[in-house]
């Protein structure tokens, strides 16, 4: 079994290398046949390895984990196949007419802007990219998506890296980027912070730099929104610069849209926070609440997600996690960490709770993945975690608003044990934009 897993990892590494070469423009009409042959060979080898591993699996848990990995491999193969088809199609259309030939030859010469995920640069990047690529009627949507992927770096590239290059996916890729970066509030805050954090230096040019920064900031904010209250924006950002990171995270998560909030809304939020000042975990630190006996009217459904965790031996386990935007930390019970055979590291930390200080002496590094998300995160080890959600079975027959949706926890309505808690750092990345509301009951 170990030999099969090593062989599979080697084949996946070669396929990823092939994908990077395709995305990097190293494949041409001259050498495409060689790449096609290599692709077909590796595809057959991987298929054979998959079948051998599945036949060797002895329990349902391993089989389920293997199926998740197979789906990831299929997505990689699909993207490679689409890229090869696009390049091959472009090569076949060369020479059909003088006009088309000229277009195909000059196409790679387009000078594209680069975007690395900086909020302040999004609007400029979007305008330049659309002018250079969307305005060229000779380019297909699949080619536009290929150009878009080539223009993204770092965090921005990760947003759409799982989308195969197809005609239909270009609009979806652009929509994902718009949702992540076309955020008026974050653009305004980033712009004003550049002025607030300006550092004066000795020299004749320092005063000129300060004035240039002010004029640029003022012009950018006016362009962003002529009706923006710049004075409130300045005061709000000065206040936020003086609060702890935890409070800033909670403030961002409390906002339901991308508009710039008023100063009064921020002050109201901070007034509420003063009632419970200090680090805490929402499952350990709480105010007494009324007990409810029925789900339908009173209980709040907390967000859960089924995730894959890869242990130190490369074996994948399926766990259920609670997403807690009120927690600074990721928590995992000792029994689960032991089951995963994760190496624990000494990293003592104290959490303030209603019952006093809770010391967490150890942590583990978890390799977390879902079909659209991967990250290695530090998770602090707690002795036990007695959380079962929901408290009773939920009847969802009247929940028409979620029909057809791809849910992160398909059995959210069944009371089940929670294996770990993911705090605000991961919660903010996993949560998709948008809110779907049902009919009030």
The reported pLDDT for the residue numbered 10 is 75
- In order, the DSSP letters of 294-322 are -HHHH-----EEEEEEE-TTS-EEEEEEE
pLDDT 10s digit of each residue in the chain, 441 long?
Answer: 677 777 777 777 777 777 777 766 666 666 677 777 777 887 788 778 777 777 777 766 666 666 667 767 777 777 777 777 777 766 555 444 334 433 333 444 566 778 888 877 888 888 888 888 887 777 888 888 888 888 888 888 888 888 888 888 898 888 888 888 887 888 888 888 888 888 888 777 788 888 888 888 888 888 878 888 989 999 999 999 898 877 877 787 777 677 888 899 888 888 877 765 544 444 444 344 443 333 444 456 788 888 888 887 788 889 999 988 767 788 898 888 888 888 888 766 666 443 345 667 788 888 888 777 788 888 888 888 777 888 888 887 778 777 777 788 888 888 898 999 988 778 767 776 555 666 655
Cβ–Cβ < 8 Å for 431, 382: no
- Residue 390 neighbours by CB under 8 Å, 6+ apart: 295, 299, 301, 302, 412, 413, 415
- Between the CA atoms of 358, 409, 47 and 169, what dihedral angle is there, to the nearest 10 degrees? -110
* DSSP 8-state symbol, 138: T
Give CA separation, 71 vs 160, 252, 314, 372, in Å.
17, 34, 17, 12
The H-or-E segment that residue 381 falls in is strand 373-382
- Residue 422 neighbours by CB under 8 Å, 6+ apart: 305, 321, 322, 323, 324, 330, 368, 377, 430
Tokens of 18: 């092939």
3-state secondary structure of 355: coil
Cβ–Cβ < 8 Å for 368, 308: yes
Tokens of 206: 């320092």
């Amino acid at each position: 079994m170990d030999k099969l897993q090593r062989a599979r990892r080697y084949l996946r590494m070669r396929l990823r290398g092939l994908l990077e070469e395709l995305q990097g423009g190293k494949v041409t009409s001259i050498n495409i046949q060689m790449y096609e042959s290599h692709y077909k060979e590796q595809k057959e080898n991987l298929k054979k390895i998959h079948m051998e591993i599945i036949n060797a699996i002895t329990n349902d848990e391993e089989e389920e984990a293997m199926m998740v990995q197979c789906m990831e491999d299929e997505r990689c193969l699909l993207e490679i196949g689409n890229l090869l088809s696009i390049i091959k199609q472009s090569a076949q259309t060369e020479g059909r007419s003088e006009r088309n030939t000229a277009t195909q030859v000059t196409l790679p010469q387009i000078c594209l802007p680069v975007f690395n995920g900086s909020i302040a640069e999004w609007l400029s990047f979007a305008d330049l990219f659309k002018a250079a690529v969307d305005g060229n009627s000779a380019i297909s949507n699949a080619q536009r998506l290929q150009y878009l992927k080539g223009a993204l770096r770092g965090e921005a590239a990760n947003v759409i890296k799982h989308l195969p290059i197809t005609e239909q996916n270009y609009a979806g890729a652009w929509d994902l980027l718009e949702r992540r970066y076309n955020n008026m509030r974050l653009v305004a805050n980033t712009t004003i912070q550049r002025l607030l954090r300006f550092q004066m230096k000795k020299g004749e040019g320092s005063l000129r730099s300060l004035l240039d920064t002010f004029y640029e900031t003022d012009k950018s904010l006016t362009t962003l929104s002529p009706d923006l209250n710049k004075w409130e924006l300045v005061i709000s950002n000065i206040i936020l610069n003086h609060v702890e990171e935890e409070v800033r995270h909670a403030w961002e998560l409390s906002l339901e849209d991308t508009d710039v909030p008023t100063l009064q809304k921020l002050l109201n939020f901070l007034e509420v926070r003063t009632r419970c000042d200090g680090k805490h975990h929402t499952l350990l630190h709480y105010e007494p609440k009324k007990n409810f006996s029925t789900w339908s009217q009173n209980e709040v459904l907390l967000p859960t997600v089924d995730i894959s965790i890869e242990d130190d031996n490369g074996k994948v386990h399926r766990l259920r996690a609670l997403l807690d935007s009120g927690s600074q930390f990721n928590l995992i019970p000792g029994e689960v960490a032991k089951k995963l055979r994760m190496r624990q590291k000494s990293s003592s930390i104290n959490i303030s709770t209603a019952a006093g200080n809770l010391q967490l002496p150890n942590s583990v590094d978890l390799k977390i993945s879902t079909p659209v998300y991967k990250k290695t995160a530090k998770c602090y080890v707690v002795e036990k975690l007695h959380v079962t959600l929901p408290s009773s079975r939920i009847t969802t027959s009247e929940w028409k608003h979620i029909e057809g949706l791809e849910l992160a926890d398909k059995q959210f309505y069944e009371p089940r044990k929670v294996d770990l808690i993911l705090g605000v750092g991961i919660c903010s990345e996993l949560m998709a934009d948008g809110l779907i509301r049902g009919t009030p009951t």
